Amino acid sequence: MIERIYIEREVEDHPRTKEICGRFPKAVRISCERYGEVFNRKAQSFRLQKRQPALVLAKKHGATVLAAPAGYGIGSQENFYFSHMLNCLYDCRYCFLQGMFRSAHYLHFVNYEDFQSGIDEVLAASPRAHFFSGYDCDSLALEQVTGFACEFLPFFRARPQALVELRTKSAAVKPLLEVEPLANAVVAYSFTPAEIAEALEHKAPPVERRIQAMEKLQARGWRLGLRFDPVIYHPSYQEQYRQLFRSIFERLDSHRLHSVSLGPFRLPDSFFRNMVREFPDEALLAGPLVSRQGRVSYGEELEQEMLAFIGDELRNYIDEGIFFPCVEVPASCQGAGT
Amino acid sequence: MTRFVVAMGCEARPVIARYGLKSVADDLPFPVFRKEDRWLVVSGIGRVNSAAATAFLFQLSGGRRNCGWINFGCCGHASWPVGEVLLAHKLVDASNDRSWFPPLAFSAPCRTSTVCTVDRPERRYAVDQGYEMESVGFFAAASRFATAELVHCLKVVSDGPGDRLEQLTAAKITSLLEAHGDTLGTLVTANEALAAELLSAHGVPAELSEILERWHFTVAQERQLRRLLQRWEVLSGGQGVLQNLPEVGSSSKEVLVYLKRQVAREAEKKGLGEDSIEQPAQPGREGE
Among B151, B192, B272, the residue to mutate for chain A (most A Cβ within 10 A): B272
Q: For the segment A132-171, what is each residue's pLDDT rounded down to a tens digit?
A: 998 899 999 999 999 999 999 999 999 999 999 999 999 9
Cα separations in angstroms, B80 against A29, B114, B169, B183: 17, 12, 20, 17
In this structure, which long-range contacts are made by residues A297-305, counting pairs with CB atoms below 8 Å and at least 24 apart in sequence? Answer: A297/A264, A297/A265, A297/A266, A297/A267, A298/A233, A298/A264, A298/A265, A298/B273, A298/B275, A299/B273, A299/B274, A299/B275, A299/B277, A301/B275, A302/A233, A302/B273, A302/B274, A302/B275, A303/A264, A303/A265
Q: For the segment A81-128, what is each residue's pLDDT rounded down to a tens digit?
A: 999 999 999 999 999 999 999 999 999 999 999 999 999 999 999 999
The answer on pLDDT for B246 being more than 80 is no
Note whether B172 contacts A: Cβ–Cβ < 8 A. Answer: no
The answer on pLDDT for A296 being more than 90 is yes
Span A35-53, mean pLDDT? 95
ipTM of the complex: 0.92
| % of chain A surpassing 90 pLDDT | 89
Name the pTM for this structure.
Answer: 0.93
Q: Which of A217, A163, A162, A161 is nearest to A189 (CA)?
A: A217
Q: Name the residue among A3, A32, A272 with its Cβ closest to that of B101.
A: A32
The answer on pLDDT for A334 being more than 50 is no
Which residues, at least 6 apart from A70, have a Cβ–Cβ distance to it below 8 Å?
Answer: A328, A329, A330, A332, A333
Burial of A36: CB neighbours in 10 Å, binned 0-12, 13-18, 19+ = middle
Note whether B149 contacts A: Cβ–Cβ < 8 A. Answer: yes
Q: Name the residue among A30, A43, A48 with its Cβ closest to that of B143.
A: A43
Chain B residue numbers with beta carbons less than 8 Å from the beta carbon of A193 are none
How high is the pLDDT of residue B248?
Answer: 63
Cβ under 8 Å to A: B residues 219-238: 227, 230-231, 234-235
Residue of B nearest to A31 (CA): B90
